[in-house]
Each structure stands twice: as structure tokens, then as C-alpha cells.
Chain A
Amino acid sequence: MKTLVVIREKDYEWLYPVFPGVHPLLVPVCNKPYAEFLIDFAILAGSNAIRFVSDGQLGGLEHYCENGSRWGIEISYASMLGDEDLETVIDKNRRYCSADRILCISGFVFIRYNKQHDYKKLIASLSPGEFISCSHGSLSLLGNTGNIDNSAEKPELSLVGLDSTGVYYRLSVEILKCGSSPYVLPGYSSEADCHIGRNVVMSKSTEIRKPVIIGNNVQLLAGSVVGPDSVIGSNVIIDRESTIIGSIVLDNTYIGENLDLENRIAAGNILIEPESGASLAMEDPHLLTGIKKRGGGGTVFQTFVHLFVAVLLITIMLVPFALLFPILRLQGKWHESSNTYYTSSSGKTLTLTTVAIDRSGPLSALALALSLDRFALLFRVLGGQLAIIGSQPVAATPGSRMVLERMTGYRAGVFSYAEAEEWPVNGGDTAIVELFYAAHGTPLQDVVMTFKAFFNRIHE
């Protein structure tokens, strides 16, 4: 027997925007591509060859399934025109359909079956024609009748039309709850309702609640909770303290720390509410946007803006500095030290006097709030040696020179972008934030960020 799978593009084209980059026939249902469920059923029904026919592109499917040797069957592919009926499609594949019996799966449907039942007997017992259908497709038989046995047992078999994210989500949860009893699911399963793939790294504090399916190359970091009713795809990272309940995380997705995902589908940077189909694209502005090239004229204007802001801040800080500096100096709370720093990514160095103020006492707190420790550095902006806002100055050492070479756009500033964004100054993410603004910042944005950094220090 052979199987002919006829799927029209209009039936599955809704999947293109939902799961971009995945061929609709390879959309994972419980970590198993949809097409594999069809192949499994065809094999259970006794087919030794399958032909996929579609009016859409089949390149992605062909790349995955190849000639079917992985399943021990012969898989072929054919094209059709979008408005053709099933009869025409069969006629166009007459040579293939010349076998004794043809099982024809028409439409973008999921076949509910149970691998423990004998579908070969069922197929043999049926007369030609459609034997099961739903609003989105059907299963039919072509070819000679053979020995029809109407008394044969009728095993479990039904169709689900895949036409929305809601159906997809409910189907995935349904399969998950059934476990490996009716379907062949990927991954190791030493206990029921829990399938775990290869190379899964779990922290000691990770909690897994059944039923759950986890793909290959997954990292579950400290404090993460996965399940119940959750499907985690391959190449997924669930970061610290995140909770995944009743959700599907598709392949190649990163779930950031301290996130709670409940009854959602996460695919790459897209988060989908399954029932309404509403989706939200999450874009990390620091990591995911392309780098824009700044024009040459912008640099001159930026320098002018920096000078203007420096003059403004000197004017604001002059009186408090004149009053507080002598007092703090006499109290021994004003500490100065000199060090050499890189001022730009080209490797230019500058010796700067940096100030540390003891935090004890109201005057010290006031001086720090007004950023008086940066007062002297503002004059370096007037000299064009420092930016009013930029990267935190990197000390000139042989080791840091190598780091500097990788920091395109580095420019030391009196205030840093990380301070403006309230990132921990010594955190690993600081460099990303600073380099992002170094590449994307505009002169006016620099003004905003400078005052943001200035006011953030008041709040501290």
C-alpha cells in the first residue's frame, strides 16, 4: 500500500507568521515535526511509500525527510496547482497511485491514532472511498477492494483540523497528557509523562513537574520550574528563577531570568497567547537591533552638545563645589587618586584624577548626590579629552588594551551610559549597554542620558 498526502498551502499558510523560519509541515507538535506523525500513521497503516503533494514549497520538508530511508519507507514529493480537486491530483499522480491500494490523507489535519492498535487490518477491511473526515480534511482509500471484512475491529481514529494556534496548543497539551502510549514521542522516558532529550543540563534547584517533554541541548538554570503540561523544544535556555507552566517553548528560544510563562507559546522572540492568537515580539534593543552607521557630521554636533552640557553642569555645580569641597577636604572625606585611562578605542591615554568621597555624613551624601566627585572631570570635556557621557573609563593596562580592541566605539565619559540605565557598573552587561549607545546614540539622546545619569546619582 502507498500513502498520498495532499495538503494545500492555504490550509497551512497561517503558520508562516506564527512560527517564522519553520516549514509549516515541520512545525513541532510535542517536539516532533507534524509530518512525522503522518509518516508514523502511514507506516502503521501498512504503507511502504508516501508522497507529499502540495501547491506550496516542499523544499524544507524534503530537506528534513529526504527519501524516507530514516523510516524505512520511500518518500517522494510532487507539486499541484492550488485550485485542483483531489481527483485531479490523483490523476496527476497516476503512476504513483497505480498500486493496489492508496491511503489518501487530504488537508492539514492531525490524525489521532494509537500505535498499539492494528490499522493494517482496519485499512484492509474498508471499501474504497472516504472513511473518516472533518471540516478540514479527510482520509480516503483508493484502489481495489480486496477482502472486505466489515466485522473487523474499529480502532481509535479521528481527525483534528489544524487551523489556529488555539487548536495547535490544545493538541500539544492533549498529546502530552496521553504520553508515549498512543504516539511515538522523542526523548528518553524512564517514567510516564516525562520525556527528556539528549544533553539536557539541569541545575540542582530546577524543578520538573510532569507531564513534560524536554528536547535536546536544553539548559534549565538554577531555580527554574518547568511544568506541568509544558513542552520545551531543543536548544532552549530557561534562565534562573523562571517558571514555565502549561506552555510551549519552541526550538532555539531563550527564556530570560525571573520570567513566568503560563499558558503561552514562546517561539524565538515571539510570545503567543494561544486562544486569541495575539502575539508579542520581544526585542532586546541592546542585542537584537542592527548597528547603525553614524554620519561624519554627527560627531561634530555631538562634541558641541557635549561641550554645552558640560558648561551647564559646571554652572550648576560650581557653587555647591566651592562650598562643600573645602569642608570635606578638611574632614578627610575627600580622597583623590591619579591613574591613566584609555579615552578612546584607538588607545589614546589620559591621566585623570578621580575622587572618592566617604559616604558618612549628610555633607558627603549631598556632595555625592550632586556628583561633585565628577566636577573636575567636566573640564576635560571642555578640552575635548572626555565625553560628557560615554563608557566608564578603562584603566590603561596591557590586559585592558586587548579588551579595548574589541570595544568598537568606546569613548570614556564623565558619566557612563550604564549609570543612566541603572545597570550595575561592574556587571558583565555594562559593556553591552555602553557599546550599544556608543553605536546608536544621538547627540540629543546623549543630553537625556547625561541628565538621567545625573539624577540617578541623586536618587542613590
Chain B
Amino acid sequence: MIIIEKICHNITVVALQGTLDSCSSSQLHYYSSPSVTEVPLVIDLSNLDFLDSSGLGALVEIARKKREKGSDVKLACMNDKVRKVFEITQAYRLFDIYDDVEAAAVNAGNKKNSL
């Protein structure tokens, strides 16, 4: 999996490319580490080709840790393959899901400012 990091409206946007499974999910551990949990995060899933339960678990873990610290993670641009995994597992109930990275970043920024 390739992780591309960029800044949009002062919010870190992480674009995932390729496969997010048990092998690659460890690559996301950095985003749930104590040093970055207080910063809101937007994860761009538009180029994610495959997501399994381990990958989903990694996303939930990031969201859980961030929420513990009063921050949040927003998901953006979910493609059909990824959306089906969220649909089957009903994981869409756990995340704020946007169809646009910029909108997600703006909302994450607003929340950051309100804290």
C-alpha cells in the first residue's frame, strides 16, 4: 500500500493507494500513535483497491484513539469496493464519510477550531 500525505485547509489528508489488509495495516499504526492522535485526520480512500477486516480494524483503531483525545478522523471519496465492505459490516455507522476530500478537510478544520 502506498500512503500519500498532503495538507488541505491545514488538515493532514492521507491518501491510501492499493491494498489495506493484514500485511499493510501496520503501515497505518503511525496515525494512531500518541504523538499524532490529537490532530484531526482525513483519509482519502478513492484509490484504495481492497479493504479487508484487518484494514477496517486499523481504521477503527485510528478513529477510536483520536476520539479518546477529542479529535476525529473523516473518511473521504469511498469507492464502490470499499463502500461495500462498510455496508456489509455496518462500519459506516462509526465514521463521518464525505464524497469530497476538501469538504472533509474543512469540516475537520472546523471541529479542530471549535475544540
Chain A interface (Cβ < 8 Å from any Cβ of B): 55, 57-59, 62, 77-82, 91-96
Contact = CB atoms under 8 A, between A and B. Distances in A.
Contact of A94 (B84, B96, B98): B98
Given A58-B87, A59-B87, A79 B107 contact: no
Interface of B: 77, 83-84, 86-88, 90, 92-93, 96-100, 102-103, 107
The 9 closest A-B pairs by CB, nearest first: A79-B92, A95-B100, A94-B103, A95-B99, A94-B100, A92-B98, A93-B99, A59-B87, A79-B97
B99 A78 contact: yes
B101 to A, nearest CB: 9
Contacts of B103: 91-92, 94-95
A80 B97 CA distance: 7
A369 B64 CA distance: 78
A79 B98 contact: no
Query: Binding site of B, secondary structure by majority: helix, strand, loop or mixed?
Result: helix
Contacts of B107: 91
A3 to B, nearest CB: 15
A442 to B, nearest CB: 43
A93 B86 CA distance: 17
A64 to B, nearest CB: 14
Contacts of A80: 97
A86 to B, nearest CB: 15
A59 B88 contact: yes
A183 to B, nearest CB: 30
Contacts of B102: 94
Given A91-B103, A93-B98, 6 more contacts: A55-B93, A79-B97, A81-B96, A82-B93, A93-B99, A95-B103
9 contacts: A57-B87, A77-B83, A78-B97, A79-B83, A79-B87, A79-B92, A81-B96, A82-B93, A94-B100
Contacts of A62: 87
Contacts of B100: 94-95
